[in-house]
Structure 1
Amino acid sequence: MQMDNGCHRCFLVASRMLVGSIVIGCIAAAVFSYYPNLDLVVAEKFHTSGRRFIGMDSLVLQSIRIAFNGLFIVVCAVAAVGSYYSRARGSWSGLIFCEWNFLLVCILAGPLVVTNLGFKDHWGRARPRDVLELGGKHGYTPPLRPAHECAKNCSFVSGEASSIFTIGFAATILFPLEAALLLPLSIAFGSLAGLVRMMEGGHFLSDVVFAGIFSANTTALVFFALKMFGCLRQNP
């Protein structure tokens, strides 16, 4: 189903996604605030010795990570191509210009701006493999507390999980009739991408949880912003 000003289903899906992510975000914030060391408890399950984690030498996990990264790159390229061609032709591969633009803006706003330029480069949280408790040299900090244990590309939040979450959540809004299937698949694959990084010592549990939460509300807000500024009109 194409997305336009009359797409009531798209609006409902985006609204529920925004409200749901806010509610889950509040619950997650309460849990990680009440149990500030929960991340360490979970990370210890994947820790072996020194700075080593069980997933560091796994070819299976490395293959899954490469596949997810490859998927994200392909989606970025396809979204850019789709936006270019649909502008002149009205549509491309079943999606109209505004829909390709929606996907492209979600990719830029979520994984790039919010996740990487926003949190990862400014929150200062050390990765599991870098904290003292797990063989590193930096201090551990709870997820919702800004720190100075890392200068750039830090642990909070997971960039790779955010990439997969964002693709899935954008697809969920683009295809509202399949939302009941796409939403759980988005959560499952995004969580798997995050789990792989957790098993490699690259992220804490909360990095993945909040990557999903921020990806969901960013994707929904992008939809509402584009709709507000009249960028989600169906081409004649």
Structure 2
Amino acid sequence: MNKKYLNVKLYFWLLFLVSSIIFVSFPQIDLAVASLFYDGKSFPLNGSWIEDILYHSVKPLIIAFALSSLAIFIYNYLKKKTLLDINSKAMLFIVLFLTIAPALIVNTTLKENWGRARPAQTVNFGGDKEFTPAFIPSNQGGYSFSSGHTAAAFSLLGFALLAKRRQRLFISLVLVYGTLVSLARMAAGGHFLSDVVTSFFIVYISTHILYKLVFKEDSA
């Protein structure tokens, strides 16, 4: 199970496959989880201070990490240094993992074309749109599948993989942060469980594949 395919452990591929089959076969799971955050009239945590902080923290964090990496790269290039090992390969990796999974796959391909209504938009939770299972294209005109904020939050994993020291700590911090952002989006009625789980797997798998392609070696 620890054997890797495209730099991703077999059990991760299997988890993604099994979870996808479960969400399609038992869509009531999404409704049951969403109902935990619904009080019968609304999603009360929507707009709360903690949900607001998590929601608005993603973009600034990504910009800060990206600009800091660019600044270090320029410094290393001009001064012939190796600070944090941010070289041309590292910058290529950063550009790729920030654009391919969260931007191209999740936001451009899925969110813009799948049409799945958000929980708060469905009749099940006070809206006027029909609930549809994950992975099933819909004409609801929604942007629920999959979660862009979840994908963006977990994309910080790429920066963690570049760390030469305390890599496991940084990876753990990213996983905790991504999970909190995902919970916030579900609590606000913005996404179903399947939306955030799918985005996590897409980003995790894509980031590790890109690492292998750029650095020609397996990630830790």
**TM-score interval, normalised by the smaller of the two chains:** 0.7 to 0.9
Give the structure 2 partner of residue 9 of structure 1. none
Please say if 1:171 is aligned against 2:162: no
1:150, 1:25 → 2: CA distance?
Answer: 26
Do the aligned residues in 1 keep the contact of 2:92 with 2:214 (CA within 8 Å)? no
TM-score by length of 2: 0.84
2:187 to 185, 189, 199: 199
The alpha-carbon deviation at position 108 of structure 1 amounts to 1.2
1:213-228 equivalent positions in 2, closer than 5 A = 213-227=201-215
2:133, 2:164 → 1: CA distance?
Answer: 36
Give the structure 2 partner of residue 62 of structure 1. 52
2:201, 2:193 → 1: CA distance?
Answer: 13
Do the aligned residues in 1 keep the contact of 2:7 with 2:209 (CA within 8 Å)? no
The sequence identity of aligned pairs, in percent, is 24
Give the structure 2 partner of residue 156 of structure 1. 145
Where structure 2 has 5 or more consecutive residues not aligned to the other structure, the ranges are none
2:125 to 125, 134, 140: 134
Q: Which amino acid aligns with 1:78?
A: S
Give the structure 2 partner of residue 4 of structure 1. none
Distance 1:96 1:63, change over 3 A: closer
The alpha-carbon deviation at position 87 of structure 1 amounts to 4.4
Distance 1:56 1:85, change over 3 A: same
Do the aligned residues in 1 keep the contact of 2:27 with 2:133 (CA within 8 Å)? yes
The alpha-carbon deviation at position 203 of structure 1 amounts to 0.7
Please say if 1:147 is aligned against 2:135: no
Secondary structure of residue in 2 paired with 1:180: helix
Give the structure 2 partner of residue 6 of structure 1. none
Q: Which amino acid aligns with 2:140?
A: E
Do the aligned residues in 2 keep the contact of 1:14 with 1:173 (CA within 8 Å)? no
Give the structure 2 partner of residue 48 of structure 1. 39
1:64, 1:226 → 2: CA distance?
Answer: 31
Q: Which amino acid aligns with 1:183?
A: I
1:99 to 90, 99, 119: 90
The alpha-carbon deviation at position 34 of structure 1 amounts to 3.0
CA RMSD of aligned residues (A): 2.6
1:90, 1:104 → 2: CA distance?
Answer: 22
2:11, 2:174 → 1: CA distance?
Answer: 14
Distance 1:80 1:35, change over 3 A: same
Distance 1:32 1:18, change over 3 A: same
Name whichever of 189-198 and 81-90 sits farther off. Answer: 81-90
Distance 1:90 1:193, change over 3 A: farther
Where structure 1 has 5 or more consecutive residues not aligned to the other structure, the ranges are 1-11
Deviations 1:153-198 (A, max 9, x none): x11111111112111x213432366443333332221111110111
